[in-house]
Structure 1
């Protein structure tokens, strides 16, 4: 049985690039728990808060329930559920899972194969990360689900159907003249830029192309905040800052809230700016909540 193929083909609700990482997040969480206890079952009532936190932090900006993947992942052959009544999931209702004592764990054949070949766990985790999340979030996700940090450094899987264009970073940084499009940071050591990265607006994992009009040159801080949905791009290529972001320090105001409404820095003339279709995808699938009004006030002093 090809467990990597099953991992790559998890059945998810998709339409026009809509994000639905419910099953990948649950499977990553289960792999993390298996790494520390190969026999433990995950009782729904005991892990519900953890799974909801993962969906809130790494899922799309829409309300969702961990009950959905807890029940439906069974259909992919990698997960099983038992209740106080015996084997089988009672359904995807939160109340049903709670009241029947539902507990899930990796399917028996998969557990046996992971014990026989421990490297499979890392390969499955890497595949899930590559197929569903941007690289800037991989380390955070490994930590959140309890996977050992070295998994984030494993070699990219050859079974990922697309390969990144390594030229994109240089093309994007050149287009933005080696300046962060949000704050203008342009640090170097000698001739080498430091702390500058090429960010995909529409994530590569969701068919975002390795093109300049799908890229931004961002400093490391703003790249992470962009992929977490704290920052976005609005009409007129002006910066959006989520109302859900909370930061009371002068640094949080200077580096985040004060950016609301500012125009992007770059790209240079003759270079395509971010395409409206990619900008719209990020706003719908990544940006969190509503944007702050332009010129958000600074922190109040006690």
Structure 2
């Protein structure tokens, strides 16, 4: 059985490119628990706060209940939920999960496969991360989920992870950095070391995992810190291509004011003449699916 293909087929709510990474985040959390404790049942009472934080940090901007993935993942044949009254989930409502003392565990066949092939967990984790989040967030998600991905990768995998159906363009970074003349579009940072640009990234405005193309109209040259803050939703773009800063962001130091708060309302650097600026559709997607509203006043 190809478990990665099974996980790729997980049913997820979708509408107009909206993000719904609830089940992937639960699976990453469960893989972390499995790595430490095997397939012992996970009480919802123990997982609720952790899942809530994962969803708040890395889910869509709208509020989401941790009961949703805990219950609905059972429909994919990967996850089993029991209560004190017997097998079967009582539903996604928090009160019923708590009252029923619900516990969840991986399907025994999947748990057995993870034991037989220790690096299968790494393959599943990489697939879930690549299919739902930009690379700048992967390490932080694993850390919050309690998943030691480095530890999983120290043993050989019995079966290779299948290559993605759509490959990324390896020239994307070079094209974006050249278009913006090797300077951050937000702060103009332009560091070099021995003839090589350092601390500069090619950021996708609409995430590659959500059909964001590898082309200039979906790219920004950003320094490493502003790339991370852009992917986290601290920073965004207004329709007039000025920088937005989330009112939820708090920074009291002079560096936070200079590097983040002062960007509110500032124009984004344009690419070289004749090269595509970011398309409005991608700006709109980021504003709806990533940026943590409301925006601070400029």
TM-score tier (shorter): over 0.9
Q: Give 5+ residue unaligned stretches, structure 2.
A: none
1:267 matched to 2:286? The reply is no
The 5 A counterparts of 1:98-177 are 98-150=98-150, 157-177=161-181
| CA deviation map 1:205-247 (0-9, x unaligned) | 0000001010000000000000000000002100000000001
Q: Distance in 1 between matches of 2:14 and 2:192?
A: 41
In 2, distance between residues paired with 1:62 and 1:243? 15
> In the alignment, which residue of structure 2 is the partner of 1:80?
80
TM-score (norm 2): 0.96
Using structure 1 for the length normalisation, give the TM-score: 0.95
1:109 Cα deviation from its structure 2 partner: 0.7
Could you tell me whether the CA contact under 8 Å between 2:41 and 2:105 is conserved in 1?
Answer: yes
CA contact (8 A) 1:142 1:152 kept: no
Q: Secondary structure at the match of 1:240?
A: strand
Answer yes or no: is the 8 Å Cα contact 2:42–2:105 preserved in 1.
Answer: yes
User: What does residue 92 of structure 1 align with?
Assistant: 92
Tell me the equivalent position of 2:228: 224
Q: Is the 8 A contact 1:138 1:152 kept in 2?
A: no
Paired residue secondary structure (2:240): helix
Separation of aligned partners in 1, 2:118 and 2:58? 26
- Which residue of structure 2 lines up, in the alignment, with residue 44 of structure 1? 44
- In structure 2, the CA distance between the partners of 1:153 and 1:193, relative to structure 1 (3 Å rule), is farther
Residues 147-156 or 58-67, more deviating? 147-156
Deviations 1:108-151 (A, max 9, x none): 11111111111111100010001011000011111111111417
Offset of residue 152 of structure 1: 9.2
**SS at 1:12's partner residue?**
coil
Q: 1:149 to 1:120 in 2, by over 3 A?
A: closer
Give aligned pairs, total: 294
State whether residues 122 and 149 of structure 2, in contact with CA within 8 Å, keep that contact through their aligned partners in structure 1. Answer: no
SS in 1 for 2:190: coil
